[in-house]
Structure 1
Amino acid sequence: MKLLQVQERIKKEDIGGFLFSSIPSVFYLSRFHSTNAYVLLTENRKLFITDSRYYEGAKEKLKDWEVVLIGKKNKKQIEELSEIINQLKIKKLGFEEDRTTVSFYRKLKEVVISELVGFSGFLNPFRASKTEEEINIIRKAVEKTDRVFAYILEKIPQAKDELDLRRMIINQIFLEGGEGESFPAIVASGKNSAVPHHETSHAKIEKNQPVLIDMGMVYEGYCSDFTRTVFYGKVDREFEKIYHIVKEAHLAAVEKVKAGVPVKEIDLAARKVIEKYGYGDYFLHSTGHGVGIEIHEPPRVSHLSEEVLLKNAVITIEPGIYIPGKYGVRLENIVVVREKGCEVLTQTSLQPVSIT
């Protein structure tokens, strides 16, 4: 169990305990959603600390945790939190320096007797390599996202504009059992598709133009991520050429995915294909990223990365080419890193699609 491994690392780091304060970390460790909660771990204790809005629900769900209520006294929560920490007589207390505000750090330092020891990415090694249970949740999220896309394809001619199509996407996510978007869906039509992270707008979806759809859902606390670029109307020949280059780059990157492979090799495999056809300057972002509780998690699949792919990591492969003022193409799948290759979770075809 990952929680025991986290506690083992706390012991190995020679700190008496660790205070997790960020929403993703608290959920990862407890599997309980709260906008105001802390997880305090020591070598042999696990405390879930929250206010009255979540206390009863946490007590009901977290049977093997010490669930502690704060906000019940005429005191500031930081003071109540410090009392709990001080009672445990922790000499050195780890905290998430990369996810903690300067204000919170200063206040905590004033009231705890512990020496505060900051860590960046303390949970990254645990979160990067998923359990099979986590992978199965993401697999279901991806299956549902595939179905959302299949439904949305038929709705493109009916959409009033980009935002109207996004509305349909959101509605279908809920109908599929999702908890919401994993990020604001991008619907980019025509020349807007040449902007990698176009902000979905009231732009009309015109015929004989491409439509780039980048979307994902949250399912049981985990994210999916998916991109396809389709053509609405008669396909432009240059667009079709670029589409096939991006597809070739995508497949070249997927072919490289295997546990133990340097992350940069995945990005370079896609980049070399695009450069070979003379479009290197139009590939404007890295090839992918990790996915899990958050839509962007380590590793960043970039040629600048010094990381190595971990077994059971879940990453995206999403190369793209963007021609300013004309159009862009991006194709994205989610894959699981395995010992001898990868498992592609996204089942939607990479074949070009035109909508009439």
Structure 2
Amino acid sequence: MLGKFASMAVSVACLTAASPALAEPADYKALDTEAARLMAAGKIPGLAYAVIEHGKVAHVSAQGWANIEQRRPLKTDTVMYAASITKAAFGQYVLMLVDDGKLDLDIPIKTYLQKPLPDYDAYKDLAADSRWEKITPRMLMTHTAGFPNFRWLNPDGKLDIKTDPGTRYVYSGEGLNLMQFVIEQGLGLKVGDDMNRRIFQPLGMTRSAMSWRPDFRPNLADGYRQDGKFEAHDERSSVKAAGSLDTTIDDLAKLAAAMVSGQGLSAKAAAERAKASFPIANPHQFPPTYTEVEPANAEIGLAAGIGVVVFDGPQGHAFFKGGHNDITDNMLVCVERGRRCIVLLTNSEVGQRIFPPLVQTALGETGMPWAWEYGRALPVTAP
């Protein structure tokens, strides 16, 4: 790629060199073999992945362990934590509401609320800052409303606006959660139930939910930190647009196929997802920066879409979304040409150790901006 993205932030050169792209798209045996090799090199306990070709699920696989101590194998119907890939799923739902005429991406959110935002207890911290009145759904969905990622990251634990709304990309789970709040308070909808009715059920995503379901427990992936320390899967009891989705690779593959093919949306709404709504100047995704500029971003058209990030690579326009926490690392990469995607779910903090070569093996060179996504090196030694 051009500029900064000619070299990945994740130091996987030794793996990538040994990871040729598949000779044919249907050569999934070779992909599975390469995934196993990369897992061993990267010390990844469990990896589930799916390939979408021409807008259809072409291959789904799971390798390794859902729980090492219990010797429970990871399966394609094992429930895993989607983390921030939840934001992409929520983006699909928001675009459905746009299609319905219930939501306009560019009308201020105050239009939908029955009272000023600071009058709601959850947002009382904004009482002295009238800039909230400028915030639109597009700003919330593109991380440009000016909020921090989460209020609890502030020293005082209070919510504030870091940058003027609509002027800077600042990654913000608060923004997505506020969009959920506006939908629930202003439109009278229950986001978790409505996403199940409008997305999960029609797509046959039978083992996906925006909050915990007890029937997940018998076939569930637990997680592992970078040092290998075990941590049980969190039973998230409340719906959070920023990241509460539990799902399986079988299910998430269906959603990725629907997203890249525009299923469930009008052509106009589907185009909004991957439109470059706002250019991203930040040198990297985390930690959010308020003034720094990386010129190389413009070379690839790096920008915020609705629930995803978009860029232009060797294969044309593409979008992606990652999802991470201390015991989870996931990635969705889709190329519009050929309606092709790969979805990767791991129960490890360091799944990114193997993502660049595995994405390249499955899709060829996409130009995926790994340096921006991760921004730090993770040493890996090939076997």
Q: Give yes or no for TM over 0.5.
A: no
> Which one has the largest radius of gyration?
1
Bigger relative contact order (CA 8 A; separation at least 6): 2
Normalised by the length of structure 1, the TM-score is: 0.23
Structure with greater strand share of residues: 1
Normalised by the size of structure 2, how large is the TM-score?
Answer: 0.22
